[in-house]
Structure 1
């Protein structure tokens, strides 16, 4: 077991070094923060490390089970570079509740971030959904059961900035009964690659730590008597189709001047109908291979 472990570690380290040699991977270090405000208050934060990978310059090192640059461009209908924000595998394991593809359009010498693709994986069910969203601001019907303490009725408001020295991704959940009751964010700063001698060591056991935090705080919510909700496939096998129809209804309401929840915006959350409008989020569901990489 020790020899197999050491061999796997060397493979990851070698691949990471090859990527870094082409200056096509950027390292970020920051904090993930979660806050639930109803029905009970619960919040936590933990340190995290991410890689932003230029998929066009790392064709032979695209993380397994993720989109290639060409596949992301086709989905986003863009013509420029594509960068993937993700936590690379460590010791053969990957844990990415959310990966983001940043898809650019190029016109002359101008490069513009046009669309993003969110890739959401739920633990421990091993399902994955990908969809387009407008990085400036977008509202998406919740398409996946990501927590046994949340139902499927919420909508996700998503926003991210263009990756640079600083990176920020924010997702808030807007619910027809609970309002704007949950927020998750990633705030990170770019780390100079020259200060990191070994990328494998930089991400050492990072996926395992993320998984530990997920399960530990799920246990805390259970201890606080938050209602446990089974996966909708046991009660509503057509839950994916229902999510698609809810998303279509959101876009339809915005097109006719209505709001997302058929009532006033909750807790002062402002929206930009022009920025939010996305013709189709192009949901795509599939199973994520064990160990969810």
Structure 2
């Protein structure tokens, strides 16, 4: 059944993206006729180009890298931010900060969005590099499109794995995260610490800021970028299957309480009494049992899960 859902998702994305791509020339002609492009309208957005690298050391060695393009949005000033993300005020409320908030993400392209990781950089009031206080990670799995969000310390933090991100990784272990304040260079590292396999997986994002003067249109700059990321994910999943790495079914079928178990494991990681005061407080967003988003106020971690979208829901 999941193979059928995957085919539906791929076919829907293909025809939607093809149609919108064919319409792009008409959009550019209309924009040039109405208003000449100017770099000043893009000042609240910084563009980055770099490389994502994955290195799996066990149970088999498998590494790959691919080029990627990201946008860094100043959420207080950018006129057109990607949909389905937090606002600056929401991010400040969650992280208890009062300064600028920046969102690092891959914008949707011709009707398709693919963001394995988006990051919010939350600053104290002065907003200098030294005052980056907290980050919020938004991790989305492929192909299901589920998402988990949580707060972490960008200097270094350890978070119990809260999402089934790959059918070739189980839910055990923790994510070790680190991120620098984005400037001319940007670096994000995530390693997996597993109770049996040890420190067996590392993912990094290294990128450099691109001059806005060299980019005439954001739509062209990010054209098919989400599709390329998805293609790399599927291709290397096929390679892992070919290497006989065990396929692990989604825990929602085998262990529906996996989210609560992740919360319990994260509580054990956070041994500070101040972070355990609200550990049993829960809230269902939306006011009904059918809501697709659930928040878990766990100390200052603030886990938020979003369920899968069509056709996986």
TM-score by length of 2: 0.79
Q: Secondary structure at the match of 2:262?
A: helix
Contact 2:20 2:110 in 1 (8 A): no
Deviation at 1:85, TM superposition (A): 0.3
The alignment covers a number of residue pairs equal to: 266
Aligned to 1:35: 55
Q: Equivalents in 1 of 2:310, 2:129: separation in Å?
A: 40
* Aligned partner (choices 48, 53, 69) of residue 73 of structure 2: 53
Q: Equivalents in 2 of 1:215, 1:123: separation in Å?
A: 8
Q: After the TM superposition, which residues 83-232 of structure 1 pair with which residues of structure 2 at under 5 Å, given as runs?
A: 83-107=102-126, 112-232=131-251
RMSD value over aligned CA atoms?
2.6
Q: Equivalents in 1 of 2:235, 2:134: separation in Å?
A: 34
Deviation at 1:157, TM superposition (A): 0.1
Deviation at 1:287, TM superposition (A): 2.6
Structure 1 stretches lacking a partner, 5+ long: 256-277
Q: Equivalents in 2 of 1:207, 1:290: separation in Å?
A: 18
2:284 corresponds to 1:283: no
Q: Equivalents in 2 of 1:233, 1:108: separation in Å?
A: 41
When residues 32 and 20 of structure 1 are mapped into structure 2, their CA distance, relative to the original with a 3 A threshold, is farther
Moved more, 219-228 or 192-201: 192-201
Q: Equivalents in 1 of 2:113, 2:128: separation in Å?
A: 37
Moved more, 217-226 or 19-28: 19-28
Q: What do residues 47-92 of structure 1 show as CA deviations (whole Å, max 9, x unaligned)?
A: 000000101002x422111111111111111101100000011111
* Aligned partner (choices 37, 45, 51) of residue 25 of structure 1: 45
Q: Taking CA–CA contacts closer than 8 Å with sequence separation of 6 or more, which of the two structures ends up with the larger relative contact order?
A: 1
Q: Secondary structure at the match of 1:61?
A: coil
Deviation at 1:19, TM superposition (A): 8.9
* Aligned partner (choices 82, 85, 93) of residue 66 of structure 1: 85
Aligned to 2:96: 77
When residues 201 and 8 of structure 1 are mapped into structure 2, their CA distance, relative to the original with a 3 A threshold, is closer
Q: Equivalents in 1 of 2:251, 2:40: separation in Å?
A: 42
Aligned to 2:263: 244
When residues 193 and 4 of structure 1 are mapped into structure 2, their CA distance, relative to the original with a 3 A threshold, is closer
Q: What do residues 162-207 of structure 1 show as CA deviations (whole Å, max 9, x unaligned)?
A: 0000000000000000000000000000011011111111111000
Structure 2 stretches lacking a partner, 5+ long: 1-14, 32-36, 274-297
Deviation at 1:125, TM superposition (A): 1.2
